[in-house]
Each structure stands twice: as structure tokens, then as C-alpha cells.
A = this chain, B = another copy of it.
Amino acid sequence: MRKTIIVLLLLTSRAWAQQPDLSQYVNPLIGTQKMGHTYPGATVPFGSVQLSPDTDTIAMFTNGKYNPDMYKYCAGYNYDDKTIVGFSHTHFSGTGHSDLGDFLIMPTTGALQLNPGTKDHPENGFRSVFSHSTEVAKPDYYKVRLEDDNILAELTTTTRVGFHKYTFPKSDSAHIILDLMHGIYNYDDKNTWTFLRIENDTLVTGYRQTAGWARTRTVYFALSFSKPFTSYGNKNFKNPQYSGFWRRFNQSRNFPEIAGEQIRAYFDFKTNEGEAIMLKFALSPVSTANALENLRTETPGWNFEEVYQKGKAQWNSELSKIAITTKDPNEKINFYTAMYHAFISPTVYMDVNGSYKGLDQNVHQADGFTNYTTFSLWDTYRALHPLFTIVQPKRNNDMIRSMLAHYDQSAEGMLPIWSHYANENWCMSGYHSVAVIADAIIKGDTGINARKALDACVQTAHKGFYDGLDYYMKLGYVPEDKKGGTSVSTTLEFAFDDWCIAQLAKKLGDEKVYEEFNKRSQNWRNVYDNSIGFMRPRLSDGSFRKNFDVLSTNNQGFIEGNAWNFSLFVPQDPKGLIQSMGGNRRFVPHLDSLFTMHLPDHFFEETEDITREGIIGGYVHGNEPSHHVAYLYNYTDQPWKTQERIRMILKKQYGATPDGLGGNDDCGQMSAWYIFSSIGFYPVTPGSGEYQLGSPAVDKAVIQLENGKSFTIEARNQSDKNVYVQKVVLNGVELNRLYITQQDILKGGTLQFFMGSKPNKKRLPNS
């Protein structure tokens, strides 16, 4: 026995020591410029805390008018900026709408300034000039010199705790500012309440309640300082008309219990030259007591380096789930940064003791699973969750359990749409939880009560009040005159989700549900206008809308897309779509045109979320609806065009620079597309268990599966020129199909691509 244990220990420590440092290839700055909307700060995989610098505080509204510049600050940080306002604890990664930015911390010296100043005049406030030359961003580590006061800032995290280290110059008047007013997508009324308690001279607790994108959200915290502060205070920037608080003592200096809507607090220190003051800042969705428990459990000591090394090890463990071999150094950076961005969201949403605040605002206990939040499902059902079924199945199952808990707590009796921190944000369209659930259950053993999951899907798909679903159920499509704006894309998305429900019902042998939803999955046909060969807005009287522009994204019936892109969204039946659109003879040139056409200027003016760089011809990679489109050639008689397009998109749309993402990363969906496509396949149809083969951009990729097996992809002879697949061999047998299945992967084995510089026109899809 003893011997075995020693051997195991040796193996474990050896495995640890031998784990390659893949984190070195990750550059968190990728996507922080232009449209990526990622943040450069510190976080652990799927961490609750995302501790990152915020570079501006643009109000969402100025004098009641929407400020479109806000959009650059979805993740708080814009690479073009020259100043840092401070370091806040929560950030979305890559979203196209935003919230968060809770609890900004900023160290300063000298005269106390309690306003942030402006980007043009940082000297008028507590913000500081910084330079990218002093900036280091690595997984779970961020460092920068705050030049105004010559303070070195370093950040790392655990799942629930932000760990700050500020190295000061000598100062009789050093301050740590805690700004409860700061927020992302901030506006006057966003804070509904904030609360602050000075428990003792090193411990502060409190919370912030906001009505932002998440309508009713409270985050609790516990903040511990490595050194006692000598004094403290606060300023309440919005005195209530009447507080009932008899002002017979000074509440703004050394008074330990503060509450109000708009508060900034500060803590004073004396520092020696080079003295570091550290902060541990724990979050909880439940209470300050839980925040304190999180703090004490996850960060018992004050060793910054140890916390960082643990975070780095967590990242290396996750990143090593796919080990790639490539001759291109940028490929490693792009690939592992994509892996990094794919493993940030959804985020853990429960305390170390398992409790979390549910959608019903009650405290719930996550019984036997880890509860997650931040479900950007309109994006992530496409490739991120399918990727998780391969490399994160345990987490993916817990995410589904979290969705089912949401369903149980939902007043509407629905699965999440875009859910976040005990709130349903009702953002985007469709009910894509069902795609994630069906995909996972169809692919294998999830341990989830599948019957309950199917019921939840069916209930969700029957809620007539939701986004025209009543009309859809009655007419077979969402009529533009009744539910205008995005009636076509909504119809297409409902139809795909319905197909997923049908597949799940089929697996469970529920014929009645299967038939109902299989029928509904055909509804895409009802918005296809054969006379023009595009999907088109249809009115409740059955006619198609007269005025219609197939190029425009402005009020033409589609969300984040035009008819050219979105008409191709029938992932449940690409062959049926091709047939409707005139068969290969007409469809292939049509698809070719998409990638080569010239878009008019108005397209860019009216289209959110993407830059000109995010577009190839008329193909929009910067938004998600086209993510499967390049793979559609696989269903035609010219599948090699998928191979060349994929390689082109990988090259053009992803770069190892801050502006390297042509569109929002969208909680990892853009990155998941990259990961799949660069290793040679993609889940065109979640819920099918199949992955369409493309053209691998790496020489080799080894996927470590949770079942202990591994699946290896080899791309023999691949290069920038050799992008065409000559043949594919699975476990020594040549593959006579253009896809592999989840079972092929889970069994383990080797998939060999033999590459060449010219298409092998004999490789065709089966019937």
C-alpha cells in the first residue's frame, strides 16, 4: 500500500513538474483594441472574479442622451487609452453589451482626490497615466506602473478573490480608494444602493446593488488589507433628500457604517520606499458573511506569488487539454489565447459553501454541482458549448444543471435566454439553452435527468408571450407586421432550436414531442422567398414584405446580420436549404459571391459589433450568424471551398495583436470557432453529434479527454499553401465522409489529414 502511495505521489508531482507552461503563449491583450471587447486583467478559468484595469469612465448617458462611445468599454479597457482609472473586480469577456465593473480600487499618494478626472486631464483626479511598455498581461497576472504617483500595480486572483499588490514610493499620505460608484455601462441610476462597513482597521465589508443590464443584482464583498490603515473616510456624492440620519457626528471621517447610492471611500497609509500594500477582495452573490468565508478559504495567507502560481497552474491544466504542434509561433499565441478566452465564461456563481442567490432572489444551495452564470447563449450554443462537450464535459454538465436550476426558479417557467447573476437579461433571440442541452445529452452520458431537461425545453418553447412565439406557433413564422425588426432571424432560430428539441425527444423515445418539434423545425421554409432566393420578412396575411434590402442590416428582419448572411441559417438542414435555393448549381456560386462581393458603405454605418476587418466580401465573421457558413460547401459538390475559406478566415480574422479580433469575442464563441477550425473540424449542427471537417491549420493537436483517453489530429504536409485535404484517415482507415462524430472523438484515436496544394475533387459528401 505504502509503495503505491509513494508512486502515485511521484507521478502527481512529476505530472505537475512536467506540465508545459502553455500560459506563456497566452496574450490577454489580444482583443482589447477595436471590437474584441476582451479585458487584459487577471482571472482563473471560469473564475467569479475578473480583476482588470478600467481605462475610462464614459457615462452611458450624457444629459439623457445615449453615448455610443460607451460601446468601446464593454470590458472596461481600451488599448488606445493612455490612462487607467483603477482596477475593478468583474468584467464580461467579449460581450457586445455590458454591465459590471464592480468595486474599483485605485492606489494614490499625495493630496486625496475622490473624483476620477478625465482622460485629457488625469491630473485632476485619481486616475493615472500608464504606458504599455510597463504593462504585463498573463493568465491570472497583470502588472502596470501607475506613472502619476509611481506606484507599481500587480493583480492576481483565485476563483472568488481578487489579490492586489501595490508597491508604493515613500509617502506620508498614501491612499487606497474604493470606488463604489464606478461601473461599466454606468449611468446615474444604475446604482440602486451601496453599503459599507469598516469591521476593523484591516477588514471592510459591504455590497453594491445595481439595476443595469442585470436588472436586480447585488454583489457582496469582503476586503482585507495586509497593513492596517491609519484613518479612513468617504464621500457620498448623492445625499438622499432625507436620510433620517441625525447628523450629530461626522459620517465622512472614521465612521464605520456608510450607505447610500453614490459613495467613494478611501483608506490612508504611510508607506516606505518600495513598500507593498496588498489587498484581498472577495466577492459573494449572497452575503458579506459568505464573502468573508470565501476570502478566508481561498486566500488564507499573504503570499502574492503563491496565489499567482496556483492560478497559472490552473490555466496550464486547462490549456493543456489540447496540445498543438505548429511551426508558426503566432499560431501558438492565437490558439492558446483562444483557449484562454474560451475558458473564461460562463463564470462560477456560488460561494465556497455552495450557496448562491437564485433568479427568485432567494438563496439556494447548489447540491452536487457547481453553479454557473453569464450565459451568452445566442453566441455560445454554436461552438463553445460543443467544444465543452469534448474538453470540459463535467463543467458543461454543471452549466446545464445551472440552466435547469434557472428554469426551476424562473417566474416565466423558462430556461435562460441571456442570463447573468440571478437575472434574465432577455437579450438577443431564440431559446438556445435547448441546443446546449440537447447537444450534450445526445452526445453522451451527462448524468442529467434527461426527461426533466426535455420538459424544460418544451415548456420554454411554448411560452407564447416571448418574442412572437405565439404567432410562430399559430402561423409557422413570426410575422413582421406583428413583431417587427427581427422576425425572420427569430423564425430561423426558433426552427433550429425546435429541431434540437425534436432530436432530444427522439433520443428519449417521446414521439409526440418529436413530431411536434420536428414539424416546427421546418418553419424556416415559411420565411424563404423563392422568388428572390432569400429569407424575407413575411406579414401576418401571408405575403412577403414589399420593401426589402438584402444587403442592409437595418430593420430588414434580421438580428446582427443581413439577408445575405442570415438566409443561410438552417444548420439543421443544410441540404434542404441548398435544394430550396436551387441545388448545387445555384447555391455554390451564391456562396462564392458572399465571400467576394463588395458591400456598400451604409452597411458598415448601420451594423454594430464588427469592423471592416471583421468582414470578407459580404461574409461577416465578426457576428455569429455566419459562423457555420464557410462549412456549407461541405454539403455541396465543392467541399474543398470550405477548406480554403476556413484557412482564409483563420488568417484574416485572428491576429496575435491587441486588435487581433475582428468582432466581439462574445464570451468565447469567436475563440471556440478558432479552436475548432484550426484543428480541422466544426460543429455546424449542434444536436447532431457531428463535426464537419475543414482544414487543420496546426500540424498536430492532441486532445486530452476527461475519460482518460486522447484524440490526436495530424495534418500531414499542411502549410499556408497546402490547405486542401487530399484524404482523411481515422484510426488507420480512410474516412469516406466529410465529418466525424462525438463518438469517434470520445473513443480516442488518431485522425490524419493528408494535405496538398490543390483540391482533391473526388472527396465528396455522402448522398
Interfacial residues, chain A to chain B (CB-CB below 8 A):
60-61, 64, 97, 99, 185, 187-190, 192-193, 195, 197-199, 205, 207, 209, 211-216, 240-246, 248-250, 254-257, 259-261, 287-289, 360-363, 411-412, 424-427, 465-468, 483
CA separation between A192 and B191, bound complex, in Å? 9
> Given A241-B61, A362-B287, A411-B197, A249–B467 Cβ distance below 8 Å?
yes
Closest B residue to A205 by beta carbon equals B360
**Chain B neighbourhood of A426, CB < 8 A:** 245-246, 248
**Chain B neighbourhood of A467, CB < 8 A:** 248-249
* Of B188, B193, B244, B255, the contact of A209 (CB 8 Å cutoff): B193
Closest B residue to A61 by beta carbon equals B241
> Given A192-B192, A256-B412, A411-B198, A215–B245 Cβ distance below 8 Å?
yes
Query: A257: shortest Cβ distance to chain B, in Å?
Result: 4
Closest B residue to A193 by beta carbon equals B192
Closest B residue to A220 by beta carbon equals B361
The reply to whether B207 and A242 contact each other, CB–CB distance below 8 Å, is no
Q: List 22 A-B contacts (CB under 8 A).
A: A60-B241, A61-B242, A192-B193, A195-B216, A197-B411, A212-B242, A212-B244, A215-B243, A215-B244, A215-B245, A215-B259, A244-B427, A245-B425, A248-B483, A249-B465, A254-B465, A255-B465, A256-B411, A256-B412, A257-B411, A287-B362, A287-B363
A-side binding surface: helix, strand, loop or mixed? loop
**Chain B neighbourhood of A195, CB < 8 A:** 216, 361
CA separation between A411 and B288, bound complex, in Å? 13
Closest B residue to A469 by beta carbon equals B249
* Of B211, B248, B427, the contact of A240 (CB 8 Å cutoff): B211
Closest B residue to A490 by beta carbon equals B248
CA separation between A614 and B256, bound complex, in Å? 40
Closest B residue to A248 by beta carbon equals B467
Closest B residue to A199 by beta carbon equals B411
* Of B189, B249, B483, the contact of A466 (CB 8 Å cutoff): B249
**Chain B neighbourhood of A99, CB < 8 A:** 244
Closest B residue to A287 by beta carbon equals B362
The reply to whether A240 and B193 contact each other, CB–CB distance below 8 Å, is no
CA separation between A176 and B362, bound complex, in Å? 26
Closest B residue to A257 by beta carbon equals B411
The reply to whether A241 and B189 contact each other, CB–CB distance below 8 Å, is yes
CA separation between A284 and B7, bound complex, in Å? 55
**Chain B neighbourhood of A256, CB < 8 A:** 411-412
> Given A193-B211, A216-B259, A361–B288 Cβ distance below 8 Å?
yes
**Chain B neighbourhood of A187, CB < 8 A:** 241-242
CA separation between A242 and B98, bound complex, in Å? 12
**Chain B neighbourhood of A244, CB < 8 A:** 97, 99, 212-215, 425, 427
Q: Assembly of this chain: how many copies?
A: 2
CA separation between A256 and B244, bound complex, in Å? 34
| Residue picked from A213, A240, A254, most chain B C-beta under 10 Å | A240
**Chain B neighbourhood of A260, CB < 8 A:** 211
Query: A95: shortest Cβ distance to chain B, in Å?
Result: 12
* Of B190, B246, B257, B425, the contact of A427 (CB 8 Å cutoff): B246
Closest B residue to A412 by beta carbon equals B256
Closest B residue to A191 by beta carbon equals B192
Query: A608: shortest Cβ distance to chain B, in Å?
Result: 14
The reply to whether B254 and A362 contact each other, CB–CB distance below 8 Å, is no
With A193-B216, A199-B411, A249-B466 already in contact, 17 other A-B pairs whose C-beta atoms are closer than 8 Å: A61-B241, A185-B242, A187-B242, A188-B241, A190-B242, A192-B193, A193-B211, A211-B260, A215-B243, A215-B245, A244-B425, A248-B468, A249-B465, A256-B411, A256-B412, A257-B424, A287-B362
Query: A380: shortest Cβ distance to chain B, in Å?
Result: 18
Query: A456: shortest Cβ distance to chain B, in Å?
Result: 17
Closest B residue to A99 by beta carbon equals B244
CA separation between A255 and B259, bound complex, in Å? 32
Query: A410: shortest Cβ distance to chain B, in Å?
Result: 8
Query: A523: shortest Cβ distance to chain B, in Å?
Result: 18
CA separation between A362 and B287, bound complex, in Å? 6
CA separation between A211 and B211, bound complex, in Å? 16
**Chain B neighbourhood of A287, CB < 8 A:** 361-363
The reply to whether B362 and A288 contact each other, CB–CB distance below 8 Å, is yes
* Of B207, B213, B240, B261, the contact of A361 (CB 8 Å cutoff): B207
Query: A749: shortest Cβ distance to chain B, in Å?
Result: 45
**Chain B neighbourhood of A192, CB < 8 A:** 192-193, 209, 261
* Of B64, B209, B211, the contact of A243 (CB 8 Å cutoff): B211
CA separation between A246 and B486, bound complex, in Å? 12
CA separation between A193 and B210, bound complex, in Å? 10
Query: A305: shortest Cβ distance to chain B, in Å?
Result: 33
Closest B residue to A289 by beta carbon equals B362
**Chain B neighbourhood of A242, CB < 8 A:** 60-61, 185, 187, 190, 212
Query: A378: shortest Cβ distance to chain B, in Å?
Result: 11
**Chain B neighbourhood of A425, CB < 8 A:** 244-246
CA separation between A246 and B427, bound complex, in Å? 6
Query: A422: shortest Cβ distance to chain B, in Å?
Result: 11
Closest B residue to A465 by beta carbon equals B249
The reply to whether B288 and A64 contact each other, CB–CB distance below 8 Å, is no
